[in-house]
Amino acid sequence: MLVLALVALHLLLGALCLVIARGEHKSAAMRWWGWGLLLYSAGLLATIAGAFGVPRPVANTGGNTLVALSSVLCVRGVLWHTPRRLSARWVSVGIGAVVAALIAGNFTGYQTFLVNVIGPTAIAVALFLVAAFVIALEGPRDARRACQFLAAMLVLAVLTWVARIVAVVMAMEGSDSAERVDLVMSLFAIAQMVNGVAATLTLVWIDVRLMQAELARVAHSDALTGLLNRRAARLRFGEEAGRAKRQGLRFAMAVFDIDNFKLVNDRHGHAVGDQVLKAVADAFSTAKRGEDVLARIGGEEFLLLLAEQSLAGANDAAERLRIAVARARVVVPGGEVGVTVSGGVALYPDDGADWDHLFAAADGRLYAAKREGRDRVEAGARAM
């Protein structure tokens, strides 16, 4: 009955994994893990078939071969979240050795029970230990804690299997060995159910964390350039303003706008316009310092939060960024397209202690730079 319960549980878990894998997220890891659980259930059912007329050697060999193969599929699912993949050659060698041992043990009658227990367990132990090590070290950063927990569950499964073999060997001694072996197998079947549920739920946890991270990236980044968007820029501004207020510091906001961008789109098309936007984003990204925050906040408008303590220093930093853009070139059919930007700079808290006031000051100086001929940065009070 416990074996049937184990089969039913893994069938349900495998089906659940396949349903999740076919959802909008299209999780390959859940798909491989789900097929592994279903194959494991099929292997257990095949071994049970020996009690219903199927020759025992055939049932045991076929069923335990499927059990051994199920661990390969499950581990492939775990490793899908890492850059590593299983070596087909070594896996084939391992499976071949297990099948040979199963055939020899079941058809010759030599240590049949131990061969059926140890054979599929040996390859599962090796594969699960590799998967635990890799997922703990190289799993996705966005799901680091879940990956570590999954590694712990894989190691726990290995310890359970090893303890089962030791317990079975010890239980086989004595006149009542059959009853003791049945008790051991029953207890470890329950432990295996717990491990299976825990590992499956942890894989779901990893997928949920990855989906959350992807949604956060979509919500806070610009699809074309990969920079922060306006919403994310405002959040970062709140963080910088809070830190500056606590420590009595200043920082600057610089707003840039691409000069004559509409003409680029009209003359060369929107595809070239997108290339220009990417070129400007790349130029800003290369020229800015690591502590500066860069965002695309509108069609052709960019914003930087500069770690500067004075308006003059912020102006120099913004001027360096402007020059970097002016040196950029976009290759188009028949030649190149040059690009320039105009910018305005405001200092926190001198020009404004919140987003609206500081942005209005920087934006006003940006349009002053436009009026003064473009391809320049304005930071002084005269521009207002």
Structural domain boundaries of the chain?
2-218, 230-383
CATH of domain 2-218: 1.20.1070
Q: Which residue, 325, 354, 328, 329, is CA-closest to 341? A: 325
* Dist CA 140 CA 145 (whole Å): 10
Q: Which residue, 279, 286, 284, 256, is CA-closest to 332? A: 279
pLDDT value, residue 383: 44
| CA distances in angstroms from 274 to 151, 249, 261, 331, listed in the order given | 43, 37, 10, 12
**Which residues, given as ranges, of the chain have pLDDT below 50?**
382-384
359 near 344, Cβ under 8 Å?
Answer: no
CATH class of 230-383: alpha beta
pLDDT value, residue 92: 93
Tens digits of residue pLDDT in 279-336: 999 999 999 988 899 999 988 999 999 988 888 899 999 999 999 999 988 887 777 8
pTM exceeds cut of 0.95: no
Listed as own residue / partner, the contacts of 177-181 with beta carbons closer than 8 Å and 24 or more positions apart are 181/113
Handedness of CA 275, 318, 295, 374 (dihedral sign): negative
- Beta strand 341-348 with 329-332 is unpaired
* Dist CA 261 CA 333 (whole Å): 18
- Beta strand 377-378 with 341-348 is parallel
| CA distances in angstroms from 36 to 58, 215, 250, listed in the order given | 21, 29, 57
pLDDT value, residue 331: 83
Q: Which residue, 199, 206, 204, 209, is CA-closest to 74? A: 199
332 CB-contact burial (10 Å; exposed 0-12 / middle 13-18 / buried 19+): middle
